[in-house]
A and B are shown apart, each in its own frame.
Chain A
Amino acid sequence: AQSVTQLDSHVSVSEGTPVLLRCNYSSSYSPSLFWYVQHPNKGLQLLLKYTSAATLVKGINGFEAEFKKSETSFHLTKPSAHMSDAAEYFCVVRVSGTYKYIFGTGTRLKVLA
C-alpha cells in the first residue's frame, strides 16, 4: 500500500536561509507525488507535483522537489526562505490505479526574522 512519511513535524529557519522539508514515500509502483501548502486558517494549495516526467520538479513561489527513486524520497526545498513561507506543508501520494490520495501528517514551517 502506498504511504508517505514526513520526517519532521516542525521546521524552523531564518529568513533568507534554505528550506528543506523531508518526505519519504512507500509505493510498489511509480508514484504520483505532490506537495501542498496550507496557510493559517486557509484551504490547501498545490505547490508542485511529480507524475513520472522530469525528476526535478519546479513549483510556485520558488519551491522545488526532487524525486529520488533509490532513496524513495521527494524532499521539498527552497533556496531562500521568506516570511510568507510560514505555513504547513503536506506531502501527498496518489493511490495507484485510483484517484484517492494519501496525505502525510504535515510539517509546520516557521520562518524567523
Chain B
Amino acid sequence: NAGVTQTPKFRVLKTGQSMTLLCAQDMNHEYMYWYRQDPGMGLRLIHYSVGEGTTAKGEVPDGYNVSRLKKQNFLLGLESAAPSQTSVYFCASSDPGVETQYFGPGTRLLVL
C-alpha cells in the first residue's frame, strides 16, 4: 500500500497563477483533510471531506477550493495564488471511529 500520496512535491508559482494539488489514498478511508503548515503555527485545517461528493470548510479556507469526486482523491485548488499561500501543504485521511490520521509527505509551495 502506498498510503497517502501527494502530487506535486514542490512547486513555484507567480502571484495570480492557479494550480491544483492532488491527494490520493489507497486505504479506502472515508475522511480526508487538507492542512497547511507554517513555522510556529502548527498545522491548520483548510478544508475537509467526510465522504465522496462532500466537503466542508476548516479554520483557514479563504483562497482555496476543494473537490472530492472520487473517494480516493481529494483535490486542493488555488484559483489565484498569493504570497501568503506560501506554505507546506499536507493531506491526511482517516476512517470514522478509528481516529488515526494518515498523512502524506507534503507539498512545498512557494508563491512569488
Contacts and interface: CB of A to CB of B under 8 A. Distances in A.
Interface in A83-113: 90, 94, 99-106
Contacts of A101: 33, 45, 101
Given A99-B31, A99-B94, A100-B58, A49 B100 contact: yes
A43 B99 contact: no
Contacts of B50: 99
Nearest to A90: B42
Interface of B: 4, 31, 33, 35, 40-45, 48, 50, 58, 90, 92, 94, 96, 99-101, 103-106
A44 B90 contact: yes
A103 B44 contact: yes
24 contacts: A32-B99, A36-B101, A42-B105, A43-B4, A43-B90, A43-B103, A43-B104, A43-B105, A44-B43, A44-B101, A44-B103, A45-B103, A46-B100, A49-B99, A49-B100, A90-B43, A94-B99, A99-B94, A100-B45, A100-B48, A101-B33, A101-B45, A102-B45, A103-B42
Contacts of A32: 99
A9 B39 CA distance: 11
